[in-house]
Amino acid sequence: MAKLIFLGTSNAISDASHENTHMVLAGDERVALIDCPNNPIQRLQKVGINADLVTDLILTHFHPDHVSGVPLFLMVMWLMGRIQPINIYGLQHTIDRMENLMDIFGWNTWPKFFPVKFTRLPEKVLVPVLECGDFHIFASAVKHFIPAIGLRIEFRNSKKVLAYSGDTKPCAQVVQLAMGADVLVHEATGASAGHSSAIQAGEEARHAKAGSLVLVHYPNGEFATRGPVADAQRKFKGPVTLAEDFMVLDFDK
């Protein structure tokens, strides 16, 4: 099994049917959560994944709509009796703040807390994050307005490649992450500081010669914009999809 499931697809202003953007990458050996804006346990249950199976948590950057749920996620897993360790990865900027946040919650006073291993990734390009029988994940620093990463995920069995921009303005690092990828998942917040529009996401997909483009982290509800898919298609001729919560991308074959 190797699939990416969208647990949320909205930008920071979520609505009733679009949670903030986060995803789970589910393999046979490892299950990696990408960002944690809210307690993800119910959404994981909904897609048939027991939170106990989550081995890794990758945090793209320290903004509330990406990391606010981490303390509650860890606390609830502890209360549910988790004993196995979890790995949490991010840039130093992200992990320093996450450890401080947990200290503010006084987590060292929570008895018999399961081991949490923090890994500080260097702010470089194509840094290996984790490797297992299912996939190999690399991270590159991208161009948000605080230190942030995007990801490249290479699947072992199918040889397929998935790239995720994270929160970023268009930059060479995203094109490099997505070079020749089968799927580029790109944010489409809108053209603003440290973000990209759907048109720009289309340009990035074209520059990277990606096979297909999936738009995520887009405005919803009263802030929804018209036609993000059509916007991206003005620049990119491959298939373009608007991610929806609980959408599944299969990388088995």
**Site residues (CB under 5 A) for Zn ion?**
63, 167
**C-alpha span between 124 and 122 (Å, rounded):** 6
Please say which residue, 147 or 228, places its beta carbon nearer to Zn ion. 147
Closest to Zn ion by CB, 63 vs 160, is 63
- Strand arrangement of the beta sheet that strand 56-58 belongs to: 116-121, 86-91, 56-58, 31-34, 22-27, 2-8, 248-250
Residues whose CB is less than 8 angstroms from the CB of residue 75 and which lie 6 or more positions away in sequence, other chains included = 105, 107, 110
Taking the complex as a whole, how short is the minimal distance between the CB of residue 19 and Zn ion, in angstroms? 15
Residue number with the smallest Cβ distance to Zn ion: 63
Q: From the CB of 18, what's the least distance to Zn ion, in Å?
A: 16
* Closest to Zn ion by CB, 148 or 205: 148
**Identity of the residue, 63 or 186, whose beta carbon is nearer to Zn ion in the bound complex:** 63
Q: Are 148 and 60 in contact (CB under 8 A)?
A: yes
Nearest approach in angstroms of CB 94 to Zn ion is 11
Q: Which is nearer to Zn ion, 27 or 69 (CB)?
A: 69
Smallest gap from residue 88 Cβ to Zn ion (A): 18
Which of 62/155 has CB closer to Zn ion?
Answer: 62
CB of 213 to Zn ion, least distance (A): 20
Q: How far is the CB of 131 from Zn ion (least distance, A)?
A: 27
